Amino acid sequence: MKIAIVTDSTSDITTQEAKENNITVVPIPVIIDNHEYLDKVDIDANKLFETQRNGASFPKTSQPALGKMLELFENLHKDGYDAIITITLTSAISGFYNTLVDIAHNHPEFNLHPFDSGMTVRTMGFMTIAAARMAKAGFSVEEIFKSLEEMRKSIGVLFVVDDLQNLVRGGRLSNASAFIGTMLQIKPLLTFDSKTYEIKSFDKVRSLKRAIKKSEDIAFKQINESPYKDKLRFIIYNSNDATQAQKVADDFKQAFPNQPVEMVDFDAVVATHLGEKSLGITWILDPDKMNID
């Protein structure tokens, strides 16, 4: 069976990775002052923050146009793909996954199989790379989904946000909470709920430095208790502050010297909600340590 793999731009897959693994990456639109930009095509986090400093309105994100998705799937179908697997950012923060479920229902000829990553960013990217390797190796859709579900269970994620206003504008926090938090220099610790896939705050710490240190401590504890401990890879994200992210990455390299640690900039879509100087710590089952080739 010839299986196509499609994901969205929040997966943070590089152009080279997409080419090497035959992955189609669909850019997520970012709308600023009624102008639509495409994530990783004509906007990134740095450009987004620059527009904010120049007085632009708060950015919004949207789904890829329905017509473009139908055109993509039609072309893949014509190219001889027997099935299409789409791996998207969590349905808790975007309606994209549900849109694809509707397309799958209304267009059975595509044999479309949407998969909710329950996440976003580079962890979703590694899920997509794993799926592409399995498709190339001749695995079935059911076998690929089973491995993706295993990877999804292995994910851990912690975010620290410096400026609470982005969470307010994105509907994640009340104005009153943000005002009090800003006055007291409170930084929320965020994660993705493993059942609902929603972003949730689970702790609050005064000062960004303390919040990052506490996130590291929590991460190390969770990783050491994980059944996947020795098969994980780690990704540290930053939002226009590589210095603090590099220190966290160095701590992870020291704690887990035999496992891959990489630094990645937040994309424009995630940066829209988290703002500048936010930091993320994530981990996931390493595709290189899975028997999928």
DSSP string, 11-52: G---HHHHHHHTEEEEPPEEEETTEEEEBTTTB-HHHHHHHH
Q: Do residues 95 and 202 both lie within one domain?
A: no
How crowded is residue 84: how many other Cβ atoms within 10 Å of its Cβ? Answer: 23
pLDDT band at 18 (very low <50, low <70, confident <90, very high): very high
Length of the chain: 293
Residue 174's CATH number: 3.30.1180.10
Q: Calculate the CA dihedral of residues 147, 149, 150, 155 and round it to 10 degrees.
A: 130
Q: Are residues 178 and 257 in the same domain?
A: yes
Looking at per-residue pLDDT, the higher value among 31 and 170 belongs to 31
In the prediction, which pLDDT does 293 show? 65
Please count the structural domains in the chain: 2
Q: Are 7 and 116 in a shared domain?
A: yes
Same domain, 135 and 228: no
Query: Of 122, 153, 184, which one is at a domain's C-terminal end?
Result: 153
**20 plus 146 within the same structural domain:** yes
Residues 161 and 261 in one domain: yes
- Give the model confidence (pLDDT) of 76-108 as tens digits: 999 999 999 999 999 988 899 999 999 999 999
For residue 172, the model assigns a pLDDT of 44
Q: What is the pLDDT of residues 151-206, one digit of tens each?
A: 999 999 999 988 766 665 555 443 334 333 443 467 878 887 777 777 777 788 88
Domain end, chosen from 110, 135, 153, is at: 153
Residue range of the domain that includes 20: 3-153
- pLDDT at position 141 is 98
Task: Answer yes or no: do 142 and 83 share one domain.
Answer: yes
The reply to whether 147 and 166 lie within a common domain is: no
Q: Give kind and range of the element (H or E) at residue 4.
A: strand 3-8
99 and 173 together in one domain = no
pLDDT score for 183: 38
d(CA 100, CA 112): 8
Same domain as 160, residue 147 = no
Question: Pick the residue with more confidence: 223 or 161?
Answer: 223
Predicted structure pTM score = 0.91
The pLDDT of residue 217? 96
d(CA 88, CA 94): 9
User: Region 220-227: what's the mean pLDDT?
Assistant: 97
Same domain, 59 and 165: no
Please tell me whether residues 24 and 137 are part of one structural domain.
yes
Last residue of a domain, one of 87, 122, 153: 153
**Which H or E element spans position 87?**
strand 83-88
Instruction: Report pLDDT for 282.
Output: 96
CATH code of 105's domain: 3.40.50.10170
69 with 99: CB under 8 angstroms? yes
Give me the pLDDT at residue 80, please. Answer: 97
Does the structure show a pLDDT above 60 at 267?
yes
What pLDDT, on a 0 to 100 scale, did the predictor assign at position 291?
81
Mean pLDDT of all residues in the chain? 89
